[in-house]
Amino acid sequence: MTKKTYTSKEVCEMFNLSAPRLLQFRKGQTVKVAGKGKNDETRFYNFEPILKEGKDWEWNGSEVVFNESAITKLKQRKSYRKLQNNAVSTRGTNQSSSRQQRKLETKREINNLEFSVQELADEMKLTVQKIYALRDISTNKPVSFQNYLKQNKDWKYDDGKVILLKSAKEKIQQYANMLKEKAEIPKSKKLSVLIGNKVFHLHGDAANAVIKIIEKEQLSRRKEKS
């Protein structure tokens, strides 16, 4: 019995794929990320092919043909992406119910080891943009926090989506705590100090330190008068 095979054109039409996208499924993909600074190295990230040669596809002369196993994998991928898209596009009767529905549908936690970006953003009260910026491949990484999320250690790609691992949750919590502590520190306005005929302008910690000295001196004088 001759096994059923499909041409590249048939597969592209069946799943609404472009020829370059189907090629990525066969050969994998390498993404180049240039360093942000002069001393930052250019990094390359390799993504394994979804369809395996000799199992899901093979050469028939000069043409590539796909086996039933390739069709099964692509159908499963299409069903998964449709489920995720439906979760994001679901509209409830109000904003609150829609948000709850999206969280339920897009949740990727597995035995408390894997999380979606949206899930941890909601839990840590951070924007998803701040979490994406913590990844080692991000070009806008925060300079105040350098315990970045490492690929395949703290996060990974799963069908084109970023999945956060347990170690990432701990790092993101550290970052959220740092932001909270910074927000709680009172920030003084610019302080101008006249010494002789020269004026010095102080900001931030230096201004706060001078204010504390002045307040301490004023308190000491009030005690002396009383």
Q: What is the 3-state secondary structure (H, E, C) of 15-80?
A: HCCCHHHHHHHHHCEEEEECCCCCCCCCEEEEECCCCCECCCEEEECCEEEECHHHHHHHHHHHHH
Give the per-residue pLDDT at 192.
76
Give the per-residue pLDDT at 95.
53
Give the per-residue pLDDT at 87.
57
DSSP structural state of residue 185:
S
Low-confidence stretches of the chain (pLDDT beneath 50): 91-94, 104-111
121-140 pLDDT, tens digit each? 888 899 989 999 999 888 88
Could you give the CA distance from residue 74 to residue 98 in angstroms, rounded to a whole number? 29
Burial of 55 (0-12, 13-18, 19+ CB in 10 A): exposed
Give the per-residue pLDDT at 22.
93
Burial of 173 (0-12, 13-18, 19+ CB in 10 A): middle
Could you give the CA distance from residue 96 to residue 75 in angstroms, rounded to a whole number? 33
- Domain locations in the chain as residue ranges: 1-92, 106-185, 191-225
Q: Judge whether 159 and 77 are in contact, CB under 8 Å.
A: yes
pTM summary value:
0.40
The pairing of beta strand 29-33 with beta strand 6-7: unpaired
Give the per-residue pLDDT at 37.
64
Give the per-residue pLDDT at 111.
45
